[in-house]
Amino acid sequence: MDIAERIIDTDAKAALLMLFHKDPSQSGTLEELAERLGEKPSDLKRAIEDFVKIGLVKEVKYYRFNKEMDDEIQRLVTARLTGEPKYKGKILENKLSTGIDFVDELLQGGIPSPSTILLMGDPGSGRELFIYQMVAEFLREGRGVTYVSTDDFPSRIREAIIKLGVDVEHYEADGKIVFVDCYSKLVGSESGEKYAVDPSNLVEQAILLSKLLPENNGLLVLDSATTLFQSAGVKSSIEFLRRITARVRKSEVNFLVSLANGVFHPAIVVAAQEVVDGVIETKIVEELGTLKTQLRILKMRNAKYDTSWVAYSFSPERGIFKTS
């Protein structure tokens, strides 16, 4: 087991890692740390002891996060995230358009199908529009879509897809798109959807999604894994993603998962990236006092691709499009 896997091999470790990652200067007794996390001290004790053995936590009068060791771990993990692209396995000839021209160009014709793709992005970078645009493209091509919403009401997602020129109600009536509402229960609202589930109940989600998977070359969307990790725990959510990924691969269905940048420790990000076939990343950068958005293909198994950062703009009506 490598260092990245070892430091998040339980939910208690992942929760402790995120606590210190938010504020590396904090310290406390076992009881104080457990209270901050809402955990029992007995459940947290083994996680802290393992961190002390690794050197990630210094054991003095209080448990204190070792920022120097964390910086080194982040450096090693980041090197894995940004390493040279490797073409693993055979090159898949069957490619499907994302609905975004310049992304298809970077992928030399579109995503290899079937694929599981992690879409990472900064808040405000148009990550949601990427998803809506890809959903719209699959629907236009007659492919089924199952959309699991954990970050917004399905009604608002429908409105956003309609702005891209897609008659969502028509496709719903034909059974081409199905929404699973995991957001209403999260915010304490009554869902008006046919399918609704608590995002923290991963077993119920897995059973429901197995029943609602679209046909071959269809698209399953989970928007987003950020909420899933926060509500159900990192370790359990990673295992959930592994199970769903295995299921969609067997069914030859494409799986698109979104994750917010900057929320989790790099070790958690690595664990999520290693589950999927491909990673697409969006970010916001400042150039000459102006904020600009960029996108790149970080990895894509079974395909050749361009890893260059490409500048883009977006609007609710046009979606994402390349800028010069």
* Residue 316, CA distances (Å) to 22, 100, 102, 163 in order: 33, 14, 18, 6
**Closest to 92 in 3D by CA, of 118, 60, 66, 114:** 114
Return the pLDDT at 92: 64
Instruction: Provide the pairing of β-strand 145-149 with 177-181.
Output: parallel
Whole-number Å distance between alpha carbons of 109 and 301: 14
Give backbone dihedrals phi and psi of 189, rounded to 5 degrees, phi first: -110, 155
For domain 3-80, the CATH class is mainly alpha
Q: Is the pTM of this model over 0.85?
A: no
Return the pLDDT at 81: 64
Return the pLDDT at 1: 57
Return the pLDDT at 85: 53
Residues of the chain with CATH 3.40.50.300: 88-322
Return the pLDDT at 82: 63
pLDDT of the chain, 324 residues: tens digit per residue: 577 788 888 889 999 988 988 888 888 888 889 999 988 888 899 999 999 888 888 876 566 788 889 888 888 887 766 655 554 556 667 899 999 999 999 999 999 999 999 999 999 999 999 999 999 999 999 999 999 999 999 999 999 999 999 999 999 999 999 999 999 999 999 999 999 999 999 999 999 999 999 998 999 999 999 999 999 999 999 999 999 999 999 999 999 999 999 899 989 999 999 999 999 999 999 888 899 999 999 999 888 899 999 999 999 999 999 997
Whole-number Å distance between alpha carbons of 130 and 12: 33
**Cα four-point dihedral sign 79, 83, 88, 93:** positive
Give backbone dihedrals phi and psi of 306, rounded to 5 degrees, phi first: -100, 125
Residues of the chain with CATH 1.10.10.10: 3-80
**Cα four-point dihedral sign 113, 262, 58, 235:** negative
For domain 88-322, the CATH class is alpha beta
